Amino acid sequence: MSDKVTLIVEKREATGKKVAKLRQDGLVPAVVYGSDSEPYNVQLSQQDAQRIVREAGRHAPVELTLGGKTSIALIKSVDRAPARRDITHISFQHVRADEVVTTEVPLVLIGESESAAAKAGLIILPTIEQVEIRAKVSALPDKIEVDASQLIEHGDKLLMSDVKIPSGVEVMDYDPELVVASVWEPAALEAKNAAADKAADEEREKEAEAEAEADVTTETVTDDQTEPTDDKSETKE
C-alpha cells in the first residue's frame, strides 16, 4: 500500500433541507457506514473533499479521524454538481485493516520512453485502464504498474501474464491472454480509429432510421384506431 491518505472530518448535525446551507458555507456533507457499525454523518471542507477524491479515488483506503478517533474507510460514491463540478456528497465505507475487499485500481504503463518502440516513433496504446482486484485493505495498491520498456515493434503486445501482480493481491476474472497494451504505427492507428468512427456513425444512422420508422408506425396505428371511433360518433348523431 502507498503512503497513507489521511482526512480529518467533523461530526455533522445538519440533515435534510439544512444541508443546502452547509454547502453554501463551503462544506461537503458525507456519511460513513459499515457492516459492523451504525452509519454516522460527517462533514469536511470542499478543499479536503477534492483532495481526498484525487488522492484516494475509489481504491485507496482513507484514514479518517473524527474527534480524535481514527478508522479506515474506502470512498464508495461521490456526487458532484453538474455545472461547477463541486463535490456535493461523499459516501465512505468503514473497513478493517485485515478485511478483504474487492475494488478497482488503475493499470499504469511505465518505461514507455525507454522502449525501442517509442524511440522508433511508434505509439504504445493501453487497452485497459483499470483492473478489479481482491486484497486485504492493508495490502491494497494504489495502482499496478505495467513495464512497457521491452516493446519493440508494431504488433508487439503486453498481456495480463506480463503484469507483475503485488503479493497478496488477486486479480478478479484473471485472463493471462488479456491484452493490456499494444504497439501501433501512427498511420495504422489513425486508420483503425477512422474505421471505428465510421462504424459508430453508421450504427447511429441505423438507430435513427429505426426510431423514425417506429414513429411512423406508431402514427399510422394511432390514425387507424381513431377513424372507426369518428365513424361511430357520426352514426349516433
Rounded average pLDDT over 164-187: 94
Give the domain ranges of the chain: 5-95, 103-184
Distance between CA atoms of 110 and 146, rounded to whole angstroms? Answer: 6
Distance between CA atoms of 104 and 233, rounded to whole angstroms? Answer: 65
Looking at per-residue pLDDT, the higher value among 196 and 77 belongs to: 77
Q: Does position 235 have pLDDT exceeding 50, yes or no?
A: no
- Look at residue 220 in the predicted model and tell me its pLDDT: 59
Q: Does position 82 have pLDDT exceeding 70, yes or no?
A: yes
Distance of CA 62 to the CA centre of its chain: 18
Architecture of the domain defined by 5-95: Beta Barrel (2.40)
The answer to whether the 5-95 and 103-184 domains have the same CATH topology is: no
Nearest to 162 by CA among 172, 151, 152: 151
Task: State the pTM of this model.
Answer: 0.65
Placement of cell 461530526 in the chain: 11
- Look at residue 236 in the predicted model and tell me its pLDDT: 40
Domain 103-184 matching CATH 1.10.8.50: the answer reads no
Segment (H or E) for 198? helix 186-236
Per-residue pLDDT tens digits for 183-228: 999 887 777 777 777 787 778 878 877 777 776 665 555 555 555 5
Rounded average pLDDT over 12-29: 93
88 neighbors 80 (Cβ within 8 angstroms): yes
| Distances 57 to 49, 76, 126, 162 between C-alpha atoms, Å | 11, 9, 20, 25
- Look at residue 6 in the predicted model and tell me its pLDDT: 94
> If pLDDT is split at 50, 70 and 90, which confidence band does 19 have?
very high
Q: Does position 232 have pLDDT exceeding 50, yes or no?
A: no
Beta pairing partners, 43 = 10, 29
Distance between CA atoms of 61 and 139, rounded to whole angstroms? Answer: 10
Distance between CA atoms of 119 and 209, rounded to whole angstroms? Answer: 47
Per-residue pLDDT tens digits for 109-145: 999 999 999 999 999 999 999 999 999 998 888 899 9
- What is the pairing mode between strands 100-110 and 123-126? unpaired
Distance between CA atoms of 114 and 187, rounded to whole angstroms? Answer: 22
